[in-house]
Chain A
Amino acid sequence: MPILTRNRNNRKRLDPYLLLLFFFVACLVLWLGAILCSLPMGVPGLGKEVASLQQRSGVQSPVTAVLLNFRGYDTFLEVLVLLLAVIGVWSMTLAPFPSGEVEKSPVQLGVVRLLTPLMVLVGAYLVWQGSHLAGGAFQGGAVLGGAGVLLLVAELPWLRSVPSLPLRIALLAGPLVFFSVALYCLLRQGKFLAYPQDTAGAFLLIIETACALSIGVTLASLFAGGRPDDDLPETGTPSDPQGGRTE
């Protein structure tokens, strides 16, 4: 059977349309490669401008300053995109949890028990560190999300009965805090997301903490692949609860 497949594949590889596509893509590679070569490499970029405004941003890390201060609008919309993705996933299905009770290996349970608090700690540390070194809301949130994925993979029984209201609050915390800080700035400074200089650092830390929580919960609930059981009950089209939704 494998040999047969390989034979068929070898024949398929000479598909004229695929060859045409291959040449088209090769031409695109050459064209864009030539453009890449003609780009002026080693220009300073925006590094100098960011460095000169660093003092006013409230944080010492240039990436965090760009992310939350200079391009705060962009980041706010990206946090909203994450929220939108969760809304899309939740409106599709209930989270598919395996129905059968499986005997857990004690090694797995021990690893989960050890690693989960450690990952939460690392996530919080990354958020705190974001003000002066590499780190920040997105990295800390990704680690928190990893902790959630670890719990989901271990299929702990209490995950099935996670209530939906705290999850919703955690999902909304980041966008809401971000938006309310932006509104406060609008009222105080007259500009959306223009932090007052003396309290910019504190504002950024609050936003980062809330966003890290939201991003972590977002990633974990995206991995779960649906809304919790006590959310809107499944109506309409009958669907197989096991139906291939296990990523």
Chain B
Amino acid sequence: MITNFLYSFCGLFVFFMGFFALIACSHPLRKILAVNVMSTGVFLILVAGAYRPASVGDIDPVPHAMVLTGIVVSVSVTALALILACRVQETSNLSLLRPKSINGREESED
């Protein structure tokens, strides 16, 4: 029982770390990463909820199936978002990858 709670709370924290970054960071790459972290948290909560100790009985396969497809879908969504971000970078005059963005919240990278 404690295992369920441990992993569920880990998932909750991971989700909200991503949520915080999604709002606080203005760089599109960071937003995409933040959404990925959030989805990881959701998967962790779902799988933790499906866990049963061996004595209780079988695992619940429905959340497992959902997470399984969700992982592949999140990868493809990330790829599409990255391409869109690159397209925005190419077509706009504004350089998104500049060390200091408009809000001035981005630290210098690379």
Contact = CB atoms under 8 A, between A and B. Distances in A.
Interface stretch (A100-108, A154-162, A200-208, A214-222): A214-222
A123 interface: no
B77 interface: yes
A63 B83 contact: no
B58 A62 contact: yes
Contacts of A8: 107
A20 B63 CA distance: 34
Interface stretch (A33-41, A109-117, A181-189, A190-198): A33-41
A50 interface: yes
A75 interface: yes
Contacts of A67: 65, 68-69
Contact of B105 (A12, A66, A240, A243): A12
A153 interface: no
A199 interface: no
Interface in B57-97: 57-66, 68-69, 71-73, 75-77, 79-80, 82-84, 86-87, 89-91, 97
Nearest to A29: B16
A51 B1 contact: no
B62 A71 contact: yes
A3 to B, nearest CB: 13
A58 interface: no
Q: On chain B, which size bracket covers the interface?
A: 35 or more
B76 A245 contact: no
Q: On chain A, which size bracket covers the interface?
A: 35 or more
Nearest to A246: B86
Nearest to B58: A47
Given A33-B9, A37-B5, A82-B76, A25 B16 contact: yes
B14 to A, nearest CB: 11
B69 A138 contact: yes
B59 to A, nearest CB: 6
B83 A89 contact: yes
A141 to B, nearest CB: 7
Interface in A31-75: 32-33, 36-37, 39, 41-42, 44-48, 50-51, 62-63, 65-67, 71, 74-75
Contacts of A66: 61-62, 64-65
Q: Which 10 A-B pairs have the closest CB atoms?
A: A45-B60, A222-B79, A85-B76, A62-B61, A47-B58, A66-B65, A67-B65, A78-B69, A63-B61, A85-B80
5 contacts: A29-B13, A33-B12, A67-B68, A92-B87, A245-B86
Given A243-B90, A244-B89, A245-B83, 6 more contacts: A44-B56, A67-B69, A71-B65, A82-B73, A88-B84, A225-B82
